[in-house]
Amino acid sequence: MTATSAGRRLDERLEPLVQEAVELLHGRRIVVLTGAGVSTDSGIPDYRGEGAPVRTPMTFEHFLADEDGRRRYWAGSHLGWRHFSSAQPNAGHLALADLELRGVVNGIVTQNVDGLHLRAGSRRVVDIHGSMDRVRCLHCGQTFARADIAERMARENPWLDAPDGVQLNPDGDVTVDDSQRMVAPSCTVCGGILKPEVVFFGEFVPVEKFDEARALVHGADAMVVAGSSLAVNSGIRLLDQASRRRMPVVIVNRGATKGDARASLKIDAGTSEVLVALGERLS
């Protein structure tokens, strides 16, 4: 095992692959696409990785159409937010922030809604699926800080308290059996439906967000995909952009991804240890 400066240890079996990645990426401006696997070392579970919880996520259509569904969603989301918001950036997040600071990485496109890249110090981050720390009214467009909404929900739902050993889901909610007593938040401006500013299943990525992500890809010479299975359309579309420009693509992910056949190099491993190793060796 080889120690790294951030305290992570790289499995010696990965050394040849990491060195090959360095040779592919050296001297190039790198855009990084990250998925849930980057945040597992921060205690946030993956959607599709080994051991991922079996779940039926809320769809945008269901959220709009069903008041009981909204109560159930907000009850679970409120409990999950306490744990989700306390997660801390891990060594992989910090390594990417340092690579950006040194001018090696030109920006990060993340499919995660946890905000950990920004908290780690990365500055140019496109949260293509939104962020859990913002809430928007679907009627008038007013936005609110999630912390303020959480405080109001706690006052209006004193019966709702997080049990010990709560099972956090990847998008920051938990499963709540008794949710019909829930007073779901509404907009204080117009009384409209509030929704976290994240892309639900069945909802389209905002055009302006995808344009920002595409601009990062076009401003780069290479791509690193970290912790994403590329099962979501937004990720595979960005990989398509990189492939059309014949950019080297390095994928770091535990298990197969939909982009493996188009990768210049695939490293089947955890993201933190590999990103730390790349951060030490790229300049």
Domain of 205, CATH number, reads: 3.40.50.1220
pTM above 0.95, yes or no: no
CA–CA dist 181, 160 (Å, integer) = 9
How far are the Cα atoms of 133, 151, 153, 184, 197 from residue 147, in angstroms, in the given order?
7, 6, 10, 15, 13
What average pLDDT does the segment 108-133 reach? 96
Task: Match 């690579």 to its residue by tokens.
Answer: 99
- How many domains are contained in the chain? 1
129 is catalytic: yes
CA–CA dist 87, 202 (Å, integer) = 27
Active-site annotation holder among 62, 93, 117, 129 = 129
Instruction: Give Cβ neighbours of residue 23 (< 8 Å, ≥ 6 apart).
Output: none
Q: Which long-range contacts (CB under 8 A, 24 or more apart) does 262-269 make?
A: 263/225, 264/24, 265/17, 265/20, 265/21, 265/24, 267/14, 267/17, 267/18, 267/21, 269/11, 269/14, 269/17
User: Is the model's pLDDT at 169 over the cut of 70?
Assistant: no
Residue of higher predicted confidence among 54 and 75 = 75
User: Is the model's pLDDT at 178 over the cut of 70?
Assistant: no
Instruction: Give Cβ neighbours of residue 74 (< 8 Å, ≥ 6 apart).
Output: 153, 182, 184, 185
pLDDT band for position 110 (cuts 50, 70, 90):
very high
Q: Enumerate helices (H) and strands (E) in the chain, giving the number of each.
A: 9, 11
User: Domain residues for 8?
Assistant: 2-281
Listed in sequence order, the DSSP H helices in the chain are: 15-25, 60-65, 67-84, 91-101, 116-120, 146-156, 207-218, 233-244, 271-281
What average pLDDT does the segment 109-122 reach? 96
Helix axes 146-156, 67-84, angle to 10 degrees: 110
Length of the chain: 283
pLDDT band for position 181 (cuts 50, 70, 90):
confident
Residue 162 pLDDT: 53
Selection from 2-16, 65-79, 142-156 with the highest mean pLDDT: 142-156
